Structure 1
Amino acid sequence: MKFLEELGLKAVNPGVSTGTKWMQGNAGSITSWSPVDGRQIGQVGIAGEQDYAQVIEVATKAFEQWRTVPAPRRGEIVRQIGEALRARKQALGSLVSYEMGKSLQEGLGEVQEMIDICDFAVGLSRQLYGLSMHSERPSHRMYEQWHPLGIVGIISAFNFPVAVWSWNAMLAMVCGDVCVWKPSEKTPLSAIACQHIIAEVLERNNVPEGVLCVINGGRETGEMLASDQRVPLVSATGSTRMGKAVATTVAARLGRCLLELGGNNAIIISRDADLDMALIGSLFGAVGTAGQRCTTTRRLIIHESVYDSFKEKLTKAYGQLRIGNPLDETNHVGPLIDKDAVNAYLKAIDACKKEGGNFVVEGGVVSGEGFESGCYVKPCIAEARADFEIVQTETFAPILYLMKYNTLEEAIAMQNNVPQGLSSAIMTMNLREAELFLSAAGSDCGIANVNIGTSGAEIGGAFGGEKETGGGRESGSDAWKNYMRRQTNTINYGTQLPLAQGIKFDL
């Protein structure tokens, strides 16, 4: 395929890089299979312990130099990375779509997120502000400043194989950190392609080798990052199970974690909702990326007075969905990432039926010409109860649960009564309902929206959630502070040395 050649990808690719230099990886290889057609795209080398040690050594030396580069100069490098991504947007977006299975529009949108975070980080490079405070002691001044941490380990997931890395790496770069990226073993070629793109910028600007590194591998590679005392911050995106393991390991060495884990997101549809608007938000939220977003809408909590009419609208809309090759822009829903995901989808459907769920739109695996990979499934809808065990569980697939409510307080309680706390939304034209939903007595999620769905966050706001979602915040707002350490400074410019709190210590 032309986009593979444009991105410098081959049948066999080295899997370890310190920026512009590549190592094959001495622990075997990963094969990347496309869920679109089941074909092998290419192979990528896996980092062994020796490769990992070499990368960390190079990154450690790079940090000593990179932290001294003025932040606006670091921002200029990031600006050029954004320009390089603009030039390769079509090719990289096509690869993301083909390797991961999301629609081409979503693949291109993911690359656009990378471009947007580069633009954000460029401005941020001149705004790494600290505060100044008045001292209680005469002739003293107090202020705080922010310094880079060092090596930032980034563990990313398959569903956003490039964007989430950029959320971390571009901010970390302007903060003066260096990054070591462990991409998902399910989408390694997307990471290799990104490294090829950025390598041109790094080389042109004489950026120290080791500022942006990639180490492909599986669980063992992630465990090396998590347990390494030389990596002060590990940013991990993935399942709650994975996040708990990473958090435990990093906490044991008193390191820092930034966790973006599971979501079980709900939209409350009020009797005062614009139902046409609610339909659009619910439909994309539930079936976008074939239900494989952490912000995917998995539950609809619908007021009993509009329940039947909205269910009818939604069922009709599901009947118009086109499932197929995501590179064909006329299709709405692509494949799941692999057959393990298909099996998890089928098990969730069976579990829902056993608990008493009623499927108003049946699910199942799609077969026939064009679906030979075995990874295509039907988006489905089930009427369920909030206390079903399967409803409490995140299933990374297009399964949507419907339930009724009577009062808004009841709906909010239903929404909050799950272990996860990432994204949430209410559809209402009632100002009082909207404000209650956004209040301290409302949604307990890190993201709470009014009259838009749960999916599709912008990079200007901090992204992340509470409870089993991990509590991390990435991307916009002041998320940059995760990648730096705060230092409080006091300067005495007088001729005396008074002590704080009026303490006397006369000699």
Structure 2
Amino acid sequence: MTALACARITYKLHRHAAVFCGQGVRWASLLRQEGYINGQWVQAMSGKDFKVTNPANGKTIASVPDMDERDTQVAIDAAYAAFTSWQATTAKERSALLRRWYDLVEANKEDLAILLTQEAGKPLSESQGELNYGSSFLEWYAEEAKRIYGEVGQSQSKSKEIIFIRQPIGVASLISPWNFPNALVTRKAGAALASGCTCVIKPAEDTPLSALAVVDLAHQAGFPPGVINVVTASRTNTPGVGKLLCTSPKVAGISFTGSTAVGKLLYEQCASGIKRIGLELGGNAAFIVFDSADIKTAVEGLMVAKFRNAGQACISANRVLVQDGIYSKFVEAVKAAVGTELEVGDGLEKGVNQGPLINDSQLKRLERIVGESVAAGAEVVMGGGGHKLGGLFYQPTILSGVTQDMVCFKEEIFGPVVAITRFKTEDEAVAIANATECGLANYFYSRDISQAWRVARKLESGMVGINEGLISAAEVAFGGIKQSGIGREGSRHGIDDYTYIKYLCFGGVN
């Protein structure tokens, strides 16, 4: 971090918190190095921990408990016991706590953003954007808590009255990913808590600090013990922890965001208990640019949809399809934008807007995808390899002449690589876009209103951005179809995964 950035952040003292700032160490109240179970900050029963490192420089930021199934069972038991009283709280009481949590996040956004940048590597400006996004879910569900309505049905019998009410399902296991370690905790927990559920949160092993920090603020907001719990675990212990979160008879449902492969495994594990499940899995988004599109606007949209978090987003534009009539102009425009607008480096440095990849596994995977695609005939317009900064940094890359059989089209890239192919007709573009097992998001650009309606309806995905590259918000129903998941997060529909409908039949009323 620059001296200027250090100087403008005021840190609070806490004996368990240390954060690297240049060559010195400052104490920060929001950097927790314990798990959170039943309202207490605790170490792993085994006494073991694991390190959390900054992907920009490989330095250790902190160590957190390496919890296993025993710790997880304690957390589940705490959530299960707390559910008895938490489900009986009024919507107004839950709303007030969520609003208090939101206010505390808003008051601590700068500290949270710096912590997020250090553990996730994303530029500080993006971390600040994620904090705004994440807190918006707490605000949204503070309001939605008071709008979980039932229904009155019309009976065919004069002696009966029919009522449907919604009730919380119970304990919810929330497994969040590393790429949005703040927002995907608040998105899940906000909905669960608003519904009257208690929860056990398992953050990704690469980025547990943001989850712990935001839950620290929930603790300060006054949530009762056991209502929110956080279990941290290394890669070694994660499979066992995840399995227990899916199979425990005390867990009523699970929400997971991550890879399709892991999602399938968790889905299978939940089957034994017939759990309620919400899955937001991998994507392979098409970004279609029709001849009628405004090229400048389309390029601006692509820069957002592709390079946010260095391309490490489930809704990142993966397959760029450009119609023949503007193909050459569009490729040149993208090249110019990438060459002038992206500054790669440590996310805490001024002017940087693309950070490193999260870990070595992601770097090697990206190198394989680009290498195999180039070997198959893709042309490197720019970039194509590791950045001069070394480490986990990768050059912003453009590949043209890509075909559907290349690995960069078949697999989710999850990195700062634009893969461009050309098409002739609208039907061809739609067919290419739909030729995937994924169905999370798609994007297209067109100034033809009739075409906009036709294509939007034909694209097989849960979300479609039309002349827009940024589609996430608290008020939208976020989720996919096909192998991209089950259920929706955000909007009023985010409550659905955490409530069930109870039918009440009143007889003898006439």
Pairing 1:223-372 to 2, within 5 Å after superposition: 223-320=243-340, 321-367=342-388, 371=389
Tell me the SS of whatever aligns to 1:382: strand
Q: Which amino acid aligns with 1:53?
A: Q
Shift in Å, 1:253: 1.9
Tell me the SS of whatever aligns to 2:55: coil
TM-score computed with the length of structure 2 as normaliser: 0.92
Q: Which moved more, 1:108-117 or 1:5-14?
A: 5-14
Shift in Å, 1:243: 0.4
Partner of 1:376: 393
The 1:341–1:389 alpha-carbon spacing in structure 2 relative to 1, beyond 3 Å, is closer
Q: Please state if 1:124 is matched with 2:162.
A: no
Partner of 1:500: none
Partner of 2:450: 432
Give the Cα–Cα distance (whole angstroms) in 2 for the partners of residues 494 and 452 of structure 1.
54
Contact 2:408 / 2:419 at 8 angstroms: preserved in 1?
Answer: no
Partner of 2:17: 10
Partner of 1:449: 465
Q: Please state if 1:469 is matched with 2:469.
A: no
Shift in Å, 1:387: 2.8
Query: Deviation digits for residues 259-279 of structure 1, max 9, x if unmatched?
Result: 011011111101110111001
Contact 2:77 / 2:250 at 8 angstroms: preserved in 1?
Answer: no
Shift in Å, 1:493: 4.2
Contact 1:444 / 1:466 at 8 angstroms: preserved in 2?
Answer: yes
Give the Cα–Cα distance (whole angstroms) in 2 for the partners of residues 191 and 130 of structure 1.
33
Contact 1:428 / 1:451 at 8 angstroms: preserved in 2?
Answer: yes
Contact 2:398 / 2:417 at 8 angstroms: preserved in 1?
Answer: yes
Q: Please state if 1:145 is matched with 2:152.
A: no
Partner of 1:216: 232
Query: Deviation digits for residues 200-231 of structure 1, max 9, x if unmatched?
Result: 112xxxx4310010000123221221121211
Contact 2:202 / 2:231 at 8 angstroms: preserved in 1?
Answer: yes
Shift in Å, 1:310: 0.6
Partner of 1:111: 131
Q: Which amino acid aligns with 1:489?
A: L
Give the Cα–Cα distance (whole angstroms) in 2 for the partners of residues 271 and 79 of structure 1.
47
Give the Cα–Cα distance (whole angstroms) in 1 for the partners of residues 108 and 325 of structure 2.
49
Q: Please state if 1:201 is matched with 2:208.
A: no
Contact 2:37 / 2:230 at 8 angstroms: preserved in 1?
Answer: yes
Pairing 1:36-55 to 2, within 5 Å after superposition: 36-55=56-75
Shift in Å, 1:5: 5.1
Give the Cα–Cα distance (whole angstroms) in 1 for the partners of residues 246 and 194 of structure 2.
23
Contact 2:277 / 2:486 at 8 angstroms: preserved in 1?
Answer: no
Tell me the SS of whatever aligns to 1:126: helix
Give the Cα–Cα distance (whole angstroms) in 1 for the partners of residues 171 and 369 of structure 2.
39
Contact 2:441 / 2:464 at 8 angstroms: preserved in 1?
Answer: yes
Give the Cα–Cα distance (whole angstroms) in 1 for the partners of residues 380 and 33 of structure 2.
47
Give the Cα–Cα distance (whole angstroms) in 2 for the partners of residues 390 and 429 of structure 1.
28
Pairing 1:59-138 to 2, within 5 Å after superposition: 59-138=79-158
Tell me the SS of whatever aligns to 2:177: coil
Shift in Å, 1:420: 1.1
Give the Cα–Cα distance (whole angstroms) in 1 for the partners of residues 101 and 429 of structure 2.
45
Give the Cα–Cα distance (whole angstroms) in 2 for the partners of residues 228 and 280 of structure 1.
47
Tell me the SS of whatever aligns to 1:37: coil
Q: Which amino acid aligns with 1:412?
A: V
Give the Cα–Cα distance (whole angstroms) in 1 for the partners of residues 267 and 361 of structure 2.
25
Give the Cα–Cα distance (whole angstroms) in 2 for the partners of residues 47 and 13 of structure 1.
15
Q: Which amino acid aligns with 2:17?
A: K
Tell me the SS of whatever aligns to 1:154: strand
Give the Cα–Cα distance (whole angstroms) in 1 for the partners of residues 437 and 104 of structure 2.
40
Shift in Å, 1:405: 1.1
Contact 1:15 / 1:46 at 8 angstroms: preserved in 2?
Answer: no
Shift in Å, 1:407: 1.1
Shift in Å, 1:301: 0.6
What is the RMSD computed on CA atoms of the aligned residues? 1.7
Contact 1:16 / 1:46 at 8 angstroms: preserved in 2?
Answer: no
- Which of the numbers 158, 165, 176 marks the counterpart of 2:178? 158
Shift in Å, 1:388: 2.2
Contact 1:271 / 1:428 at 8 angstroms: preserved in 2?
Answer: yes
- Which of the numbers 18, 21, 24 marks the counterpart of 2:43? 24
Give the Cα–Cα distance (whole angstroms) in 1 for the partners of residues 210 and 369 of structure 2.
29
Tell me the SS of whatever aligns to 1:125: helix
Give the Cα–Cα distance (whole angstroms) in 2 for the partners of residues 245 and 336 of structure 1.
25
Q: Which amino acid aligns with 2:426?
A: L
Shift in Å, 1:472: 2.7
Q: Which amino acid aligns with 2:96?
A: E
Partner of 1:504: none
Partner of 1:403: 421
Q: Which amino acid aligns with 1:483?
A: Y
Q: Which amino acid aligns with 2:467?
A: N
Q: Which amino acid aligns with 1:407?
A: T
Q: Which amino acid aligns with 2:323?
A: H
Contact 1:162 / 1:194 at 8 angstroms: preserved in 2?
Answer: yes
Q: Which amino acid aligns with 1:81?
A: W
Aligned length: 484
Give the Cα–Cα distance (whole angstroms) in 2 for the partners of residues 234 and 123 of structure 1.
23
Pairing 1:472-483 to 2, within 5 Å after superposition: 472-483=487-498
Shift in Å, 1:38: 1.6
Contact 2:125 / 2:353 at 8 angstroms: preserved in 1?
Answer: no
Tell me the SS of whatever aligns to 1:316: helix
